Every structure is written in structure tokens, then in C-alpha cells.
Amino acid sequence: MGVRSDITRQQLLDAAVTVLSERGYARTTTKEIARAAGVSEGTIYRHFTSKQELFRAAFTERSVADVQAITGLPDLAGTGTVRGNLLLLIRMIEDVEANVAPLHAAASSDAELAAALFSESPLADGGNPIMTPLEPLARYLAAEQALGRVRGDIDVAHAAFALFAIPFAGVTTNRLARTAGKRNGVDMAGALEFVLRSVVPE
């Protein structure tokens, strides 16, 4: 409860995310995390009951702010420009992913980890943050559609997924390319504009 304890806890969360990003889940050991945090291995267990609990905490605490911003998206309907609001959302999705992508990746093939990660999630129905943007995005589009700021002839659910897929695929493939040593990223913004033209009138 002391400030020292809090600092150590944050260092451990940082270290967990860092090592996970650098080494991947299979190579992320408690020893490595402790080394990166500059503490002893035993210290991990003063703050978290298990390695999985550490990851769950990192996952939750790192994504909760972004996720809450995302769920507030529909409230923006009618304000600013549709293009601007959507670009903002896309930026949020990128941020979430940048923080927790390796955890997502690991969880996608590890039911046990997935369960640990997504239990006690701040999201409704124990959801996982990756799917979360879809529904608020669709609701936002519907609200704008009602206001006439989004084309009336589109299915908002389909459009939402097409929009969501771009930053998602962009972040993921860029990450893989970077890890594999490639440098030539993908032009997310251009693709986004391409889809936006089908969304906003004119």
C-alpha cells in the first residue's frame, strides 16, 4: 500500500508488457520479467498471485482507458465531422492494439490464457477489448445515419466491420512485418479513406 510498493507494481506491469512484446509469450518467463523490472523474481509474487494474474492486470489496466473512450463513441454523433470522429476511433484501436497485441495474439490460441485474461474484464459480459469497438462503431454509424451524415443505403454493421478491419489488420500485419525484420509498412490511412468514401455522402 506504500508508494514504494505501487512503484514496484507499475514497474512489473511495464516489464511484463515490454518483455511480452520483445520475446513473445512462450519466451516470457518470470525471470525475464523480474530482470526487466529490476526486481527479484520473488517480488512478482508479492504483487500478483501468479504470472497469469500479472498478465491479466497488465491487460486490464492497459486497455481500460482506451476501451472506455471507444465505448463513448456514439455520443459523438452529430459533433465534429464523421470523418474526423472515425479517424479518432481508428487511432484508439491502434493504441489499444499497440499495448496489448501480444497478449491478444497469445490468447487467440490459448484458451486457458484467454479465460484468465478476459475474466474480471471491465468490459460488459467479460468481453475482450478487441471486439469491443465493433458495437459502439455500428451504433455511432446508425446515429449519424439518422442525422443524415452517413449514407442511408449502407448496412451499418457491415460498414463497421470494414472500417474496424483496417486498423486491426494494419496493426497486426505491421507488427508481424516489423518482427520479421521487414520495414515496409502498410498504408492504413489510404485504405481507410477508400472505405470512408463509401460511408460518407458525396
Partner DNA sequence: GATGAATGAGTATTCATTCAT
Partner DNA sequence: TATGAATGAATACTCATTCAT
> Is 47 near DNA (CB under 7 A)?
yes
CA nearest neighbour of 117 among 165, 66, 64: 64
Site string for DNA, 14-33 (x = CB under 7 A): -------------xxxxx--
DSSP code, position 153: T
Cβ pair 199, 82 in contact under 8 A: yes
> Is 108 near a second copy (CB under 8 A)?
yes
Measured from the CB atom, the residue of 64 and 105 that comes closer to a second copy is 105
> Is 101 near a second copy (CB under 8 A)?
yes
DSSP code, position 25: G
C-alpha cell at 185: 509498412
Give the Cα separation of 159 and 155 in Å (integer).
6
> Is 67 near DNA (CB under 7 A)?
no
Give the Cα separation of 145 and 99 in Å (integer).
32
Measured from the CB atom, the residue of 4 and 183 that comes closer to DNA is 4
Of the candidates 8, 63, 132, 145, which one interacts with DNA according to CB under 7 A? 8
> Residue 2 Cβ, how far from DNA at the closest point, in Å?
5
Cβ pair 12, 40 in contact under 8 A: no
Please give the C-alpha separations between residue 60 and each of 92, 103, 121, 164, in angstroms, as whole numbers. 16, 11, 6, 21
C-alpha cell at 163: 472500417
> Is 172 near a second copy (CB under 8 A)?
yes
The one-letter code for the residue type at 127 is G
Of the candidates 39, 69, 142, 186, which one interacts with a second copy according to CB under 8 A? 186
Measured from the CB atom, the residue of 30 and 173 that comes closer to a second copy is 173
Give the Cα separation of 117 and 173 in Å (integer).
23
Binding site for DNA (CB under 7 A): 1-2, 4-5, 7-8, 27-31, 39-47, 49-52
User: Which spans of this chain sit near a second copy (rule: CB under 8 A)?
Assistant: 20-27, 101-102, 104-115, 118, 127-128, 130-131, 134, 154-155, 157-159, 161-162, 164-166, 168-170, 172-173, 175-177, 179-182, 186-188, 190-191, 193-195, 197-198
